[in-house]
A = this chain, B = another copy of it.
Amino acid sequence: MVDFNYFAPTEVVFGSRSEEQLAMLVRKYGGSKVLVHYGGGSARKSGLLDKIERLLREGGVEYVMLGGVVPNPRLSKVHEGIGLCRREKVDFILAVGGGSVIDSSKAIAYGVPYDGDVWDVYMQRYTPVTCLPVASVLTIPAAGSEMSESSVITNEDGDVKIGYSNNLSRPKFAIMNPERTYTLPPYQTAAGVTDIMMHTMERYFSHDGDMNLTDAVAEALLRTMMECVPEVLRDPENYRYRAQIMWGGSLAHNDLTGCGRIGDWATHQLEHELSGMFDVTHGAGLAAVWPSWARYVLKCDVSRFVRFAVNVMGVENDFTDPEGTAVRGIEAMERFYHSIGMPINIRELIGREITDAEIGEMVRKCSHGYTITQGQFKVLSPEDLTAIYNLAR
């Protein structure tokens, strides 16, 4: 068991009436002029943005609006937000949306008080010492950015997608109304749950197997997500199951499921190159890569994969054949991905064969020009990364 810090200060306000508290929460955390930052038209169409504007006006909070954040959020939009915040003297950023909007908001929050280009932060050329307060009204459960310290930004100049983590940007509050997720399309719902589960699994596949409390909580979360997703695909307006997915998304990425262990995160890195190159949905990209990662690293610790197979996937334990049990756990996950409409390889993800040149380019980026390894469960060289992409073709 490794020493750990656990710090999840975000005030979560959860439920069907949670939005009513918006203006009070903004003022409580020091906001007087708010940037309302959002994505496409769905937040407007659903009436959520109108309601937020009304709540802020009635609560006496000034605001400016900035929409247009896209999945795999772009640096150019971040620059636009920084400029707007400076001109309008914004002192608080409210993200209305999912992970892309929250991540973009965090980047703006770093950038406003920094004289240089905020990309320096993501390139780790500059460590922020302050940032604007960020909070969210969550509409897509997936990224867990509403309670996390991390954000991922894509620099269109070179299709480079880079993450950065700093407790400074942990959101002050998160308003979570499960009803706001009723209109999520099935593919986005399923990809979101895949991302939620993967945030847990990246931490679960670790050699620190002596922290059973963390394992047991992670297994509880994974099993519950697998129960919930078929229910909401069948019945999109089921509050009970939508609520559990929404709360599961936060718990999966606020570090609860990582206490006492070193996470792996190779699957996320392998996927970042995929969505950087093909602009695919992050959760779907994770599903396309994970089974191949799992088969490739299995022998590093068969017992952990057996535990996963039995305690999470409900596979019968064949005590005479641990490796067979482990493989059946991976196969069960593939069947689950397929059952919710997720791909299990790159061809299913992008709709065509990937080329050797494309794999080569992704490996080059993923290894930062062959200079770094990825992963902890098995440390992956550029050759290993190539092998996994090939397994996942």
**How far in angstroms is the closest Cβ of chain B from A230?**
14
Within 8 A of B (CB), among A1-59: 1-9, 11-18
Interface residues of A (CB under 8 A from B): 1-9, 11-18, 210-213, 216-217, 219-221, 223-224, 227, 239-240, 243-244, 247-248, 251, 256, 259-260
A14-B7 CB under 8 A given contacts A219-B220, A221-B217, A256-B256? no
Residues on B with C-beta less than 8 A from A220 are: 213, 216-217, 219-220
* A-B interface, 8 closest residue pairs, ranked by CB to CB distance from nearest: A3-B15, A216-B220, A9-B9, A6-B12, A220-B220, A213-B244, A213-B224, A7-B11
Q: Which residue of chain B lies nearest to A1 when distances are taken between CB atoms in the complex? A: B243
Chain B residue with the shortest CB-CB distance to A219: B220
Nearest-Cβ distance from residue A384 to partner chain B, whole angstroms: 31
- Which of the residues B3, B9, B224 comes within 8 Å of A16, measured between beta carbons? B3
Chain B residues in 8 Å Cβ range of A260: 14, 243, 247
Copies in the complex: 2
A223 contacts which chain B residues (CB < 8 A)? 216
A211 and B1 contact, CB distance less than 8 A:
no
> Does the CB pair A247–B224 fall under 8 Å?
no
Complex interface: chain B residues within 8 A of A256 (CB): 251, 256
Roughly how many angstroms separate A216 CA and B217 CA in the complex, as a whole number? 8
Residue among A220, A247, A251 with most chain B CB within 10 A: A220
Given the known inter-chain contacts A213-B247, A217-B217, please indicate yes or no for A18 contacting B6, CB distance below 8 A: no
Expressed in whole angstroms, the minimum distance between the Cβ of A133 and any Cβ of chain B is: 14
Residues of B within 8 A of A8 (CB): 8-9
User: Which residue of chain B has the shortest Cβ distance to A240 in the bound complex?
Assistant: B210
Shortest distance between the CB of A390 and any CB in chain B (Å): 37
Q: Closest chain B residue to A222 by CB distance?
A: B216
Residues of B within 8 A of A247 (CB): 213, 259-260
Are A12 and B7 within 8 A (Cβ)? Answer: yes
Alpha-carbon distance between A9 and B29 when the two chains are bound, in angstroms: 14
Q: Which residues of B contact A15 (CB under 8 A)?
A: 2-4
**Residue from B5, B14, B216, B259 within 8 A of A4 (CB atoms):** B14
**B213, A1: Cβ atoms closer than 8 Å:** no
Give Cα A239 to B2, complex, Å: 11
Which of A217, A221, A251 gathers most chain B CB within 10 Å?
A217
Q: How far is the CA of A7 from the CA of B29 in the complex (A)?
A: 14
Measured between beta carbons, the chain B residues less than 8 angstroms from A259 are: 14, 247
